[in-house]
Structure 1
Amino acid sequence: MRAVVVRRFGGPEVLEFAEHPTPVPGIGRVRVRVAAAAVNPVDVATRSGFLTEAGIIPPRDVLGIGWDVAGTVDAVGDGVTGFTVGDAVIGLRDRPSAALGTYAEFVVLDASAIAAAPRTASLAEAATLPLNGLTAAQAIDLLDLPPGATVLVTGAAGAVGGYAVALAKARGFRVVATAGSADEALVRGFGAEVFVPRGDLLGDRVRAVVPGGADAALDTALLGLEALDAVANRGRFVVFAAGAAPIPLRGIRVEHVWIRADGTALAGLATLVDDGVLALRIADTLPLTEAVKAHERLAVGGLRGRLVLTNK
């Protein structure tokens, strides 16, 4: 089978196609015929060597690329229940040091890492859900706040941020969102009650509409201290990238969300898609053979939604 791998770090040009034996699912594992794989910033961080330099991925001769997958079950290992050949599924590969990722024709995942795909979405659309949706959901879990609390979401127009707004709203939080002024209607459509345009002195501007500050912040835009300043004393703050955690001033509890595969939670997110709570956003689809082009487009920025690589 064909797969995209990295043998040296650098720009998009280091992505290469390699022939690899089709993986065989072992005990408790499932082989998925990949229909679509989303392109995420973490793929760039893997390709560039940033994750290796940060100590998140150990040195490897070959690294697979891609975390998100949507496709159909192609084979199941011993002990797998709940999935049969032909089922449409979504899943997450959360081991970035593996030699094969989801930019491939097939991928093998633990059965606990996959879930039935949303019924109301195409597989290309569904491929945008696992990594970003689970990241937002697991970040909200870290808040440990009661319904009615006020939660600030930075980068609310982005892939993770958009899910964070919708999921926070669904859990009964009052959502204050910040993004570019042009994205106000989009972000309010996700469920934000209050919108604060991106800009300087975020803490002052949030506190002008939320006296005393927000109970918590989900800092998907990695604003750090600027976002922390908008949080009330002894509040909660969740950071989304290694090394981006601000100093926990004023008794604020700062947490880091480290994404993990969770098929049960992923099934719940798929249900929210089918119920119209979560919107799946694709910027564009490209064939797997154009992985380099996809990374070049991601580097340019300005995308709304994810680029998705497809096998045809």
Structure 2
Amino acid sequence: MKAIGLTQFGGPEVLHLLDLPAPQARPGEIRIRVSAATVNPVDTMVRRGLAFVSDAAPPYVPGMEAAGVVDQIGEGTDTDLRIGDRVIAIAVVSGTHGAYAEQLVVPAESVVRAPVGATDIEAATLPMNGLTARMALDLLELPVGATVAITGAAGAVGGYAVQLAKADGLRVIADAALKDVQLVNDLGADVVLPRGESFPELVRKEVPDGVDGLVDTAGIAQSVARAVRDGGRVATSAPGAALATERGIVTERTFVPNYARHRVALDQLRQLAEQGRLTLRVARTLPVEQAIEAHRLLEIGGLPGRIVLTF
């Protein structure tokens, strides 16, 4: 099968075409013929040797989420999926096991039907990004009516966090650059404040005692934690984030592989997307052969959604 990967770590230029043996689905697994794979920040970490490479030998294939069709089901696998079904999946990268490939094998718990009405390109942006947002909110354990602050709200994970928080019955205070204020408002945030150093103080003007929880998708938890009330909770995506306990605040890190087999949560995301309660945002599509350009664009930043590679 054709895949895009690397044999040495470095910049986008290390990505190149690989010819790999097609993986086979074993009992409990499903193989997908991939039509679309999303480009995410963690993919650049794989490329630089900073994530998901310690226990595997090269070559490495990045990619943690994909959409396509089922083309093989392992013997005895407990699933209601059938050959030819349109699906989405989350992949935990290891060696050549990544979504930048024509075929991807995943545990049956990591794959669900694609949202009806969404293209494969749109649907590919949901599994990993959506589960990351879902995990963050679950870690906060906030009751209905509580107030949550969300950083990076205009991003893919942040946008899902805003919409999932509203679906959970929470009040949302989000940050946004001036150009993204309307977008974040449209996602359903109750209050949108300017992003930057003043965000915590502006939050405190809205909620003098501080918010009940913070979902940090921008990796700035330490600098904005003062927006959280005493005894509140923080969920951050920042790699290696310190687990601060000042003022009784509990800080935890989202690590989406822990949700990779949470089929119920993934299917709930699918249902919300079908209902129009989750917005699938595609910034740009590129053929998989242009993965180098995709990584360059991602690292420049400022994209209103995700880049999706097509097969």
- What is the TM-score of this pair, normalised by structure 1? 0.95
2:136 is equivalent to residue 139 of structure 1: yes
Partner of 1:279: 279
Conserved in 2, the CA contact under 8 Å of 1:64 and 1:99? Answer: yes
From 231, 235, 241, the equivalent of 1:234 is 231
For 1:213, which of 163, 185, 210 is the aligned residue? Answer: 210
Q: In the TM superposition, what is the alpha-carbon distance from 1:174 to its structure 2 partner?
A: 0.3
Q: CA deviation at 1:241?
A: 2.6
Which of 160, 163, 169 is the aligned partner of 1:163? Answer: 160
| Residue of structure 2 in register with 1:12 after alignment | 12
Task: State yes or no: 1:101 paired with 2:98.
Answer: yes
Q: Is the 8 A contact 2:282 2:304 kept in 1?
A: yes
The Cα shift of 1:246 comes to: 5.5
1:93-141 per-residue CA deviation (whole Å, 9 max, x = no partner) reads 02x2232211011111111100000001000000000110000001111
Q: Structure 2 CA distance, aligned partners of 1:303 and 1:48?
A: 21
Match of 1:301 in 2: 301
Runs of 5+ consecutive residues of structure 1 not aligned to the other structure: none
Q: Matched residues in 2 for 1:279 and 1:37: separation?
A: 17
Counterpart check, 1:186 vs 2:214: no
**1:250 alignment partner, SS class:** helix
Q: Distance in 2 between matches of 1:57 and 1:190?
A: 38
Give RMSD over aligned pairs: 1.3
Aligned equivalents of 2:243, 2:200: Cα separation in 1: 14
Paired position in structure 1 for 2:266: 266
Structure 1 residue 59: deviation in Å?
A: 5.5
1:92 equivalent to 2:90? Answer yes
Q: Distance in 2 between matches of 1:246 and 1:225?
A: 9
Aligned mates of 1:200, 1:289 — CA distance in 2 = 39
Cα distance in structure 2, aligned partners of 1:57 and 1:67: 17
Q: Which is further off, 9-18 or 57-66? A: 57-66
Asked if structure 2 preserves the Cα contact closer than 8 Å seen for 1:224 and 1:245, the reply is no
Does the aligned pair in 2 maintain the 1:206–1:230 contact within 8 Å?
yes
1:2 touches 1:104 (CA, 8 Å); kept in 2?
yes
Q: Is the 8 A contact 2:218 2:238 kept in 1?
A: no
Rounded to whole Å, the distance in 2 between the matches of 1:284 and 1:114 is 24
| Counterparts of 1:67 and 1:189, CA distance in 2 | 27
Q: Which residue of 1 aligns with 2:149?
A: 152
Provide the C-alpha distance between the structure 2 equivalents of 1:210 and 1:177, rounded to a whole number of angstroms: 13
Tell me the distance in 1 between the aligned counterparts of 2:54 and 2:157.
22
Distance in 1, Cα, partners of 2:23 & 2:197: 50
Q: Secondary structure at the match of 1:64?
A: coil
In 2: Cα distance, 1:176 partner to 1:255 partner: 20
Pair 1:2 & 2:24 matched: no
Equivalent position of 2:80 in the other structure? 82
Letter in 1 for 2:85: D
Residue 48 of structure 1 corresponds to: 48
**Residues 54-113 of structure 1: CA deviation (Å, up to 9, x unaligned):** xx733622212111110000011112221110000000002x223221101111111110
One-letter identity of the residue aligned with 2:187: F
Q: C-alpha separation between the residues in 2 aligned to 1:225 and 1:66?
A: 28
Distance in 1, matches of 2:142 and 2:88, equals 29
Q: How many residues align?
A: 307
- AA at the equivalent of 1:294: A
State the Cα distance separating 1:248 from its structure 2 match: 2.2
Which residue of the partner structure matches residue 251 of structure 1? Answer: 248
Q: Following the alignment from structure 2 to structure 1, what is the Cα–Cα distance between the partners of residues 237 and 193? A: 20
Query: In 2, distance between residues paired with 1:76 and 1:116?
Result: 14
Deviation at 1:206, TM superposition (A): 0.6
What's the CA shift for 1:14? 0.6
Structure-1 separation of matches of 2:62 and 2:283: 19
Q: Is the 8 A contact 2:243 2:250 kept in 1?
A: no
Could you tell me whether the CA contact under 8 Å between 2:58 and 2:95 is conserved in 1?
no
Distance 1:177 1:57 in 2: 36
**CA–CA separation in structure 2 for the residues paired with 1:60 and 1:229:** 43
Secondary structure of 1:3 counterpart = strand
CA distance in 1, matches of 2:216, 2:243: 11
User: TM-score normalised to the size of structure 2?
Assistant: 0.96
Q: Determine if contact 2:61/2:96 at 8 Å carries over to the other structure.
A: yes
Cα deviation, 1:197-245, whole Å, max 9, x if unaligned, reads 1122322111001111100000111112222010000000011132223
